[in-house]
Structure 1
Amino acid sequence: MADQLIRATAAEGGIRAVGVITTRLTEEAKRRHKLSYVATAALGRTMSSALLLVSSMKREGSRVNIRVKGDGPLGGILVDAGLDGTVRGYVENPDIELPPNAKGKLDVGGAVGRDGYLYVVRDVGYGYPYSSTVELVSGEIGDDVAHYLVNSEQTPSVLMVGVFVGAEGVTASGGILVQVLPKAARDESLVETLESRVEALSGFTPLLQAGKTLPEIFEQLLGDMGLVILPEIQMLRFHCGCSFDRVLGALKMLGEAELQDMIEKDDGAEATCHFCGEVYKASSDELAQLISDLRTESV
């Protein structure tokens, strides 16, 4: 099944639901960054969460950044997602592996750490981006993003994300976000009903592995609440906007002395993009051209 995002409403517009399948893009992130099993799960959950969050934004070019910084051995996680369906991200320590947790699942909470913070930045493309910080509640990512939505955006939300990864790679990844909008938020029983139904699902990836589609999952959750599945299906992909030209631009900012030092000591320069793992190499001739450009510009 292709990576995709589908939206739906229920309760006469009082409920907003969004679902994503991110299996292929999570596998690509795993390959690019050489991620361990638990690092793959942590990054995949965060990428799914970012895509779910950015889906509510309206202005073209809008983006959401999620940074997770806990006290676990995985270090930090940084993800950047766009309203256009692109996402990228990385973890600080991609080769960390831990034994399964008490439930026999990948110990994402132990890898991330339960003491720390979740930072969310919403950028609509103009003015100052809106940023918010909340404490981690579990390090499992889904719980932490739901905690952010309730505390920073005052929107009752149920969020479930998951990644299944084994020896054959990532076979299921994605998530679902269900939000009770202001027109229905006063109905506390509605929120409790949604929470109990999501808990009863016992995870998102088992549904994907059982062959369930996003519309079928929506039907299972909201089918008796006036469910309306919107027709548009948005394709999702792992994408990074880095390029060799951008790398040269960054090198140029180092200045003539630093560039000359690279030529003499290293016979060139090498740079790796943190977000996608792409390696760029600049020859000594290309660095010399940058020096020439700087001298011309200074005249």
Structure 2
Amino acid sequence: MSDYIVRATAANNQIRAFAATTRDLAEYARSVHNTSPVATAALGRLLTAGAMMGSMMKGSNDLLTLQIKCNGPIQGLTVTADANANVKGYVYDPTVMLPPSPIGKLDVGGALGAGVLSVIKDMALKDPYVGQTELVSGEIAEDITYYYATSEQIPSSVALGVLMNKDNTVKRSGGFIIQLMPFAEDEIIDKLEQKINEISSITNLLDDDLTPEMILEHILGEFNLEILDTMPTAFTCNCSKERVEKAIISIGKKDIQEMIEDNEPIEVNCHFCNTKYHFSINELEMILKKSK
């Protein structure tokens, strides 16, 4: 498999860990949305987080949505993932361009600015679970770390990285989420904090060709790391012409009639994968007959 997630435990189940390589899905997202380098980095990070967080969902039909609304030039991002780590997403302004940050990196924090991260979990209950936290840095990994600490009370370390080639394609993408269980001993907590502080950066680990297994071994090897399983992850959109047709039906007869009277075929774009769906006047008339 090309992109995949590793799930693991360590320290006699006191630590749970996830690590992912997501180069192909990040590059696919870049290609379909034609994102600028900084938008590619932001979207790639959130897609990676979404894939790992989606894989934590218990039910096969559970859905996770990560939504960022912000006042920076990128305006916002939305990513949706399921329990099988199928993930999709988009940025509100894919063309945003910014100079590098003071340390020479893509300035994702500057692209996002201030805003709110919403984590929406649809677990087939009456209402979805919604957790919201303010962005603390706009760098996404720190924002998700803060979300876990405040909304779910789970001490976590989140690292997300996207490296670009000189031609602005994606060279590397991936990350990890490491979490302490409520019964974690103080000694384990202290040792883990020290180990994580020793890591140079996730982008350095990715650029050194470390696999997800090797990344977790690098961080948690001394904690009796146990790899539980691996699962593929991919950019997957479930849009179709039939689903778009249902959306058109839902807008009501009056608006559909106006489209027909304009005597122009319509084009509907999927936000997530940028697929274009065309509807002729004849098709709109058929849809009108089906609408209420």
| TM-score, scaled to structure 1 | 0.93
| Cα distance in 2, alignment partners of residues 137 and 39 from structure 1 | 19
Contact 1:158 1:194 in 2 (8 A): no
Deviates further, 101-110 or 249-258: 249-258
- Matched residue, 1:235: 232
Q: 1:69 to 1:193 in 2, by over 3 A?
A: farther
Alignment of 1:266-277 (within 5 A): 266-277=263-274
- Which residue of 1 is the match for residue 203 of structure 2? 205
What is the aligned partner in structure 2 of residue 140 from structure 1?
139
How far apart are the structure 2 equivalents of 1:44 and 1:266? 40
Query: Which amino acid counterpart does residue 227 of structure 1 have in structure 2?
Result: L
Q: Which shows bigger deviation, 48-57 or 35-44? A: 48-57
Q: Given that residues 74 and 112 in structure 1 are in contact (C-alpha distance below 8 angstroms), is that contact kept between their aligned partners in structure 2?
A: yes
In 1: Cα distance, 2:263 partner to 2:10 partner:
61
Q: Residue 159 of structure 2 aligns with which residue?
A: 160
C-alpha RMSD of the superposition: 1.5
In 2, the alpha carbon distance for the partners of 1:157 and 1:176 equals 10
> What amino acid is aligned across from residue 211 of structure 2 in structure 1?
T
Q: Which runs of 5+ in 2 are unaligned?
A: none
What is the one-letter code of the residue matched to 1:79? Answer: V
Deviation at 1:283, TM superposition (A): 0.5
Equivalent runs, 1:114-129 vs 2, <5 Å: 115-129=114-128
Summarize the alignment of residues 1-299 of structure 1 with structure 2, pairs less than 5 Å apart: 2-113=2-113, 115-166=114-165, 167-184=167-184, 186-187=185-186, 189-230=187-228, 232-294=229-291
- Comparing 198-207 and 34-43, the one that deviates more: 198-207
Structure 2 CA distance for aligned equivalents of residues 286 and 43 of structure 1: 35
2 CA distance for matches of 1:250 and 1:275? Answer: 15
Per-residue deviation, 1:198: 2.7
Question: What are the superposed Cα offsets for residues 57-87 of structure 1, whole Å, 9 maximum, x if unpaired?
Answer: 2111112111112221100111101111100
SS in 1 for 2:138: coil
Kept after mapping to 1: 8 A contact 2:57/2:82: no
Distance change in 2, residues 1:9/1:200 (3 Å): same
Return the alpha-carbon distance in structure 2 between the equivalents of residues 293 and 11 of structure 1.
Answer: 59
Report the Cα offset of residue 258 of structure 1.
Answer: 2.0
> What per-residue deviation string (whole Å, max 9, x for no partner) do you get for residues 86-116 of structure 1?
0011111100011110111000000011x22
Q: Is the 8 A contact 2:180 2:189 kept in 1?
A: yes
The runs of 4+ residues in structure 1 deviating greater than 4 Å are: none
Matched residue SS, 1:223: helix
Letter in 2 for 1:38: V
Report the Cα offset of residue 253 of structure 1. Answer: 2.2
Where structure 1 has 5 or more consecutive residues not aligned to the other structure, the ranges are none
Instruction: In structure 2, give the amino acid aligned to 1:42.
Output: A
Distance in 1 of aligned mates of 2:168 and 2:117: 31
How big is each residue's C-alpha offset from its partner over 1:229-282, in whole Å with a ceiling of 9 and x where there is no partner? Answer: 12x220111011111011111112233332232123242211111111111110
Counterpart contact for 2:52–2:85, Cα < 8 Å: no
Please state how far the C-alpha of 1:291 moved relative to its aligned partner. 2.0
Partners of 1:45 and 1:265 lie apart in 2 by 42
Among the aligned pairs, what percent are the same residue? 40
Which deviates further from its counterpart, 167-176 or 54-63?
54-63
